[in-house]
Structure 1
Amino acid sequence: MGERDLSVLTARRTTLQMIPGGAAAPSAVRVYVLGADALARGGIRALLTGQPAVHVVGDGEPGPAAPAEITATRADVVLAHGAAPAPGPLPPHCRTLTVGGSEPGHGRLPATATAPQLASALVLAAAGYTVAPPGAARPTGPPTGPPAVSGVGPEQLTDRERQVLRLMADGLSNAEIAGSLTLSEHTVKTHVQNLLGKLRLRNRVHAVVYAFETGLRTPR
């Protein structure tokens, strides 16, 4: 994967290799940015602006008031910067992901992570996967993680739909996919709608997870 290789994503039920990617509204992952440095928090928010996979619902400093504020935003993932301690207690569905610093409990990314890499990691963290650096130990034992997002196999897709799905998992928008495949944006939108329908997926967030779970998106 070269420069785009980021980390190993280890699910509680399977092991995946992370590739930069994102997903899109309408069901974007709700993210709360936590960190002591206001400038760093602002930088992260700016980095994530325009990433359709995620929606930043708030940011703030670590402290006693943080858990209540995070809960009020209904965040799916807390993105902690640097040495920010993991807040708690949080709702059971809320995951924690760190950029730089130590691992707080659900995963971490290097400080050099790009916007698409961040978006991909946030989507997969919200889906129940753990982000770990290359070479990290992988869990053993029987799978206990979330069920597959779809019971339909990728063989139901056309070759073009599989191409579109792979590019979606790389974090490309419909316009960028259109440019990559030399198609009109309307045609790409039709392919996206068709593949979501065939795979019985609710949205592009689930499509990204599906691409990793089925191996349609694999290391290069």
Structure 2
Amino acid sequence: MTAAPPPTISVVIADDQRMVRAGLRMVIETEPDMQVVGEAGDGVDAVTLTRRVRPDVVLMDIAMPRQDGLAATRALLAAPHPPRVIVLTTFDTDDNLYEALRAGASGFLLKVSSPEHLITAIRVVAAGEALLDPAVTTRVIASYAGTPGPQPPPELAELTPRETDVLRLMARGLSNGEIAAALTVGEATVKTHVARVLMKLNLRDRVQAVVYAYESGLVRPGQ
């Protein structure tokens, strides 16, 4: 009996540089479970195309003509049944990355990332998880988070001490395995804590948890 083929992850690439789009397409389409279903060279076309083809994942550049990737991300994620968005960044020049996280992007991908990292990122995000690269995410959050209010939000009191520890470590960009090692517990236990944190704080994923941790004052820039 022939096994059923794996489900295909559909991807839209939004970047104003044609060579970048071509390189991303070439890497993605070497994978049997992935398919590029469209390309866009600016934010307006990215929104129009994405709404038409309804991909699983959008790779979104920030600096694009007509409408930048930040505005396009907001437009897409404000609509019902949005795709997952990975922001493409050059890291040092994109000052709007923190706002992209607040808009609901599922993570960052450096344009100089390896093909293996690209493929992993797409699979992680398509599966409903968030991509938190400590080398990018925590620096961006720390740089662009607003000044925390003097009083923590009341819902923080709903977390147990261990759940609070887990949230702090998530805010540093640690994976479940790294959190488990830091707290000397099993990874399954960490997954349970993460799920409870998201549920209690009404957060969609780990990216929102990181933003929340900084904006609430639980974690401060530079810690």
TM range (shorter): 0.3 to 0.5
* TM-score, normalised relative to structure 2: 0.46
Of structures 1 and 2, the larger Rg is shown by 2
* TM-score, normalised relative to structure 1: 0.47
Higher relative contact order (CA 8 A, sep 6+): 1
Q: Identify the structure with the greater helix proportion.
A: 2
